[in-house]
C-alpha cells in the first residue's frame, strides 16, 4: 500500500509560482487519508477563488495517481479561514465577510469604478460570494454600471439595508437611496451615511467585499479605512502624468491607516490597433516603469483602451482582460496574506543611511547621494521627467533628521535642508548603494558597503 511519505514526496513537486516553493512546505496539504487504493487530502490555498486551484488539483491527481497502488485520488480544494475581523460596531453586516479589498484612485475619470465592478462580477461568475460597495457618496457609479436606477432600498425590521443582487453579486450604493438626484450633504453627515453603508448592510457570508472608493484622499476615505479593517487595496491610474502624480497621495493615505497596497492597475495603458495588432502607447511608455522607480510599487495589470472597458459590463466580465486582471489581483492578495513582512532595520548618521535586512543583506548609501537621487515633483519635472534639482545645490553636510518606512517597499526621509516629499524604494537604494559614486561619497567603501 502507498505511504503518506510517498504521497507527500509527489505533492512536493507542485510549485506555487507566487512563492517559488512547493505546496507541502507551504503547509497547503492537510488531513491526508489513505484507505486501500484511495488517497484523499485537502489542499488549502490562501484565498477563495484562487486561479491556481484547478491547476494544483489536476497536478495532484496526475502525480499521486501515477503511484503504484493508487486507484483513486480525491483532493479537496479549500481556502484558508481568515482570522476574526476586528469590528467595533455592535451590529455590523461585515462579520461574515472573509476579505475586504479596496479599489482606489486619487484622480477621477481613470476607470476605477469599472475596474471594481469588473473584479466583482468576474469573481461572482466563478462562483465566489461577492459584494460590491459603492462608497462614492457624491458621484455613485454602481447604479449606472448595473443599470439599476429605481431609487429605494429594502430594509429589515432593525433598519439594516438589504443589498440589491445582480448575477449573484450583492450591491449597495448611496445612489440606490438618492436616485439620480445630487447628494448635497456636508462632511459630518457624509461620514454618518458612510458608516451606515459599511456596517448597516446585510451582506451575509461573503468571500470578498469589493469597496469602490471615492476618488481622492479626504474625510470619506479616512472614515472607511478607520471604520473597517481593509485587507488590501489596489490603486487604479492611467499612464498620464497628471494621474501618476496623484498615486503618491494614495500610497501615503493607505500607509497611514495600515492598509497594504497590492500594486497599481494601469488603465488605458495602450491602444491595440485592429489592423496591425500593434500596441500604441498614447500616453507614453514610461507609466508603469515610472511608478515602480518612484514608489517601489509593482504595476500588476495594464489595461488597454478598448470599448469593452466603457461598454457593457456583461461583455467585459467574460473577456480575457477581466479574467487576467482578476487572476492577478487575487494571486497578489493571496501572496500578501501569506508572505512574512520583512522590513529592514534603518540606521542613519551624519554621513550615511543604512538598511539592514533579516537575511544579512546591508545597503549603505551616503546622505548626499540619496538626496540627489530624489525623484519627487520638486526634483524631477512631472511631465518631461527632466531634472529640476541642481546636484551642486545639495549641501555636502546634508543628513536625514527623520526616516519612516512606507509599506514594505520604500522609505521617506525628512532632510536637514527641509525637503521631505521624496519616496526612496528599497530597490532604488540597493542600486544606488552599489554604484561607485555612492561608495566614494560615503568614504570609498570604508563604511562597509559592497
Cβ atoms of 142 and 116 within 8 Å: the answer is no
- Are residue 125 and residue 255 in the same domain, yes or no? yes
- Are residue 283 and residue 190 in the same domain, yes or no? yes
Q: Residues 168, 170, 175, 180: what is their CA dihedral angle, to the nearest 10 degrees?
A: 10
Residue 350: which CATH number? 3.30.2020.30
Of 149 and 167, the one with more pLDDT: 167
Task: Rank 4-8, 152-156, 400-404, 444-448 by mean pLDDT and report only the highest.
Answer: 4-8
pLDDT band at 309 (very low <50, low <70, confident <90, very high): low
DSSP per residue, 133-190: EE--SSS--HHHHTT-------B-TT-PBPPEEETTEEEEEHHHHHTTS-----HHHH
Nearest of 97, 102, 312 to residue 214 by alpha carbon:
102
SS3 label, residue 243: helix
Taking 60 as the threshold, does the pLDDT of residue 126 lie above it?
yes
- Are residue 156 and residue 251 in the same domain, yes or no? yes
What pLDDT was estimated at residue 447?
44
What pLDDT was estimated at residue 406?
78
> Which strand (E) or helix (H) includes residue 117?
helix 112-125
Cβ atoms of 187 and 219 within 8 Å: the answer is yes
Task: Give per-residue pLDDT as tens, 164-177.
Answer: 999 889 999 888 87
Q: Of 288, 308, 338, which one is at a domain's C-terminal end?
A: 338
C-alpha cell at 410: 520604500
What pLDDT was estimated at residue 119?
94
Nearest of 153, 136, 154 to residue 145 by alpha carbon:
136
Strand partners, 99: 208
Query: Is the CA virtual torsion 24, 27, 29, 35 positive or negative?
Result: positive
- Are residue 169 and residue 311 in the same domain, yes or no? yes
Taking 50 as the threshold, does the pLDDT of residue 450 lie above it?
no
Taking 50 as the threshold, does the pLDDT of residue 446 lie above it?
no
- Are residue 285 and residue 428 in the same domain, yes or no? no
Residue 69: which CATH number? 3.30.300.130
Task: Give per-residue pLDDT as tens, 376-434.
Answer: 878 887 667 788 899 999 998 999 999 988 766 788 899 999 998 777 888 888 888 88
User: Mean pLDDT throughout 336-353?
Assistant: 84
Of 90 and 195, the one with more pLDDT: 195
- Are residue 323 and residue 352 in the same domain, yes or no? no
Taking 60 as the threshold, does the pLDDT of residue 203 lie above it?
yes
- Are residue 225 and residue 324 in the same domain, yes or no? yes
User: Mean pLDDT throughout 99-126?
Assistant: 89
User: Mean pLDDT throughout 210-226?
Assistant: 79
290 lies in some domain: yes
- Are residue 104 and residue 222 in the same domain, yes or no? yes
- Are residue 353 and residue 323 in the same domain, yes or no? no
* Total structural domains within the chain: 3
Taking 60 as the threshold, does the pLDDT of residue 311 lie above it?
no
84 lies in some domain: no
C-alpha cell at 442: 560615503
Mean pLDDT (the chain, rounded) = 83
- Are residue 309 and residue 373 in the same domain, yes or no? no
- Are residue 65 and residue 159 in the same domain, yes or no? no
147: left (phi over 0), alpha (psi -120 to 50) or beta: left
What pLDDT was estimated at residue 10?
95
Query: Residue 127 belongs to what domain range?
Result: 97-338
Cβ atoms of 2 and 38 within 8 Å: the answer is no
- Are residue 290 and residue 407 in the same domain, yes or no? no
Q: Of 322, 338, 354, which one is at a domain's C-terminal end?
A: 338
449 lies in some domain: no
C-alpha cell at 355: 538598511
Task: Give per-residue pLDDT as tens, 249-286.
Answer: 777 778 777 788 898 888 887 777 776 767 777 666 65
Task: Give per-residue pLDDT as tens, 223-253.
Answer: 787 778 888 999 888 877 666 667 777 777 7
431 lies in some domain: yes
Amino acid at each position: 500500500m502507498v505511504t503518506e511519505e510517498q504521497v507527500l514526496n509527489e505533492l512536493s513537486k507542485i510549485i506555487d509560482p507566487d512563492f517559488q516553493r512547493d505546496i507541502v512546505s507551504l503547509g497547503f496539504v492537510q488531513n491526508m487519508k489513505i484507505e486501500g487504493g484511495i488517497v484523499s487530502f485537502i489542499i488549502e490555498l490562501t484565498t477563495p477563488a484562487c486561479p491556481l486551484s484547478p491547476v494544483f488539483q489536476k497536478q495532484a491527481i496526475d502525480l499521486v495517481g501515477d503511484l503504484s497502488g493508487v486507484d483513486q485520488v480525491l483532493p479537496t480544494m479549500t481556502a484558508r479561514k481568515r482570522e476574526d475581523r476586528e469590528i467595533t460596531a455592535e451590529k455590523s453586516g461585515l462579520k461574515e465577510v472573509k476579505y475586504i479589498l479596496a479599489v482606489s484612485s486619487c484622480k477621477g475619470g481613470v476607470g476605477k469604478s469599472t475596474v471594481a465592478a469588473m473584479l466583482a462580477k468576474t469573481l461572482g461568475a466563478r462562483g465566489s460570494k461577492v459584494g460590491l460597495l459603492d462608497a462614492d457618496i457624491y458621484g455613485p457609479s454602481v447604479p449606472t454600471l448595473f443599470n439599476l436606477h429605481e431609487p429605494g432600498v429594502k430594509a429589515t425590521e432593525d433598519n439594516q439595508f438589504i443589498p440589491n443582487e445582480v448575477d449573484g453579486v450583492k450591491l449597495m450604493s448611496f445612489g440606490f437611496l438618492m436616485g439620480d438626484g445630487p447628494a448635497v450633504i456636508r462632511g459630518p453627515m457624509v461620514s454618518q451615511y458612510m458608516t451606515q453603508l459599511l456596517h448597516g448592510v446585510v451582506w451575509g457570508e461573503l468571500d470578498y467585499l469589493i469597496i469602490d472608493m471615492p476618488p481622492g484622499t479626504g474625510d470619506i476615505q479616512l472614515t472607511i479605512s478607520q471604520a473597517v479593517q481593509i485587507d488590501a487595496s489596489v490603486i487604479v491610474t492611467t499612464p498620464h502624468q497628471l494621474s501618476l502624480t496623484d498615486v503618491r497621495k494614495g500610497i501615503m493615505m493607505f500607509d497611514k491607516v495600515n492598509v497594504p497596497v497590492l500594486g497599481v492597475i494601469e488603465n488605458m495603458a495602450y491602444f491595440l490597433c485592429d489592423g496591425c495588432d500593434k500596441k500604441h502607447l498614447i500616453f507614453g511608455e514610461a507609466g508603469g516603469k515610472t511608478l515602480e522607480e518612484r514608489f517601489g510599487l509593482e504595476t500588476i495589470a495594464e489595461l488597454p483602451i478598448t470599448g469593452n472597458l466603457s461598454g457593457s459590463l456583461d461583455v467585459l466580465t467574460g473577456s480575457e482582460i477581466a479574467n487576467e486582471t482578476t487572476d492577478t489581483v487575487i494571486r497578489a492578495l493571496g501572496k500578501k496574506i501569506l508572505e512574512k513582512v520583512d522590513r529592514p532595520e534603518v540606521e542613519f548618521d551624519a554621513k550615511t543611511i543604512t538598511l539592514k535586512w533579516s537575511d544579512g543583506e546591508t545597503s549603505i548609501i551616503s546622505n548626499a547621494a540619496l538626496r540627489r537621487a530624489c525623484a519627487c515633483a520638486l526634483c524631477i519635472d512631472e511631465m518631461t521627467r527632466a531634472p529640476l534639482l541642481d546636484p551642486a545645490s545639495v549641501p555636502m553636510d546634508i543628513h536625514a533628521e527623520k526616516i519612516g518606512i512606507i509599506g514594505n517597499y520604500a522609505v521617506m526621509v525628512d532632510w536637514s535642508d527641509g525637503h521631505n516629499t521624496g519616496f526612496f524604494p528599497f530597490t532604488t537604494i540597493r542600486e544606488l548603494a552599489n554604484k561607485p559614486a555612492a561608495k566614494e561619497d560615503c568614504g570609498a567603501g570604508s563604511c562597509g558597503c559592497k
